[in-house]
Amino acid sequence: MELKRTVGIESQLEAVAALQEPLRRALYFYVASQDAEVSRDQAAEGLGISRALAAFHLDKLVVAGLLESSYRRLTGRSGPGAGRPSKLYRRSAKAVRVSLPPRRYDLAAQLLAGALAEGGGAEAVAALERSAHAWGQNLGKERRSRLGPRPSRRRLVGAALDALADLGFEPRRQGDGTLTLRNCPFDARHSGALELVCGMNVALCRGLLEGLEVPGLEARLEPGPDRCCVVFHAT
């Protein structure tokens, strides 16, 4: 009897398999960690490998759907003498989730968020934010308990960054002292309930800071392109 195969699951498994090769996996995480598109030369230099080897694995990641590529002249010039455009790479918007047998918890969450946003009412929204705040606060308390008595502010901020990274927010320190989150693990822009998810995010982050008891750091709701809606400011 012929087995029926799910095309969606096969695609996800192929994407995961593409990361099995250690160097390819390292290149993916290198590109994903950058704030701008990455050229083949930059990737090769970043990992200390040849340009040809970097190009080979980067293009394999594009085929797998994990990276996206584009062409642009890095000199900023155009016309004769401007040189050939460089091939640049950035992380794909494709999310890889593998569950056997198939589970669609993300779809369930999206449908629940849509229903809540449409007719849940103010009290339901407030209950969601209270729940997110309490969850973040408990996480913060647990992380603080690992630091021992009277931890320094630097260690507390580091613990907050580690917790946010573990949750998939991809925190980044900016030159002006603020902390931004490069990724929304709840995919607020495509959830169908942007304001609802953003309110949940900021409540969770504020709870985390309270649980850790981080002095002089505040989570604010400041939506921006290509990042999470929460920004941390020194106060």
166-189: per-residue pLDDT in tens?
A: 998 999 998 888 999 998 888 766
State the CATH architecture for 7-91: Orthogonal Bundle (1.10)
The two tokens of residue 144 are 């603080």
Question: Would you kindly state where each structural domain of the chain is located, as residue ranges?
Answer: 7-91, 106-234
The two tokens of residue 5 are 């195969």
pLDDT of 2 over the 50 cut: no
Residue from 114, 120, 118, 205 nearest 165 by CA: 205
List strands edge to edge, sheet with 38-39: 38-39, 86-91, 67-72
State the CATH architecture for 106-234: 2-Layer Sandwich (3.30)
Indicate the pairing of strand 217-221 with strand 171-173. Answer: unpaired
Asked whether the domain spanning 106-234 has the same topology as the one spanning 7-91, the reply is no
50-78: per-residue pLDDT in tens?
A: 999 999 999 999 998 899 999 988 766 66
* pTM (two decimals): 0.73
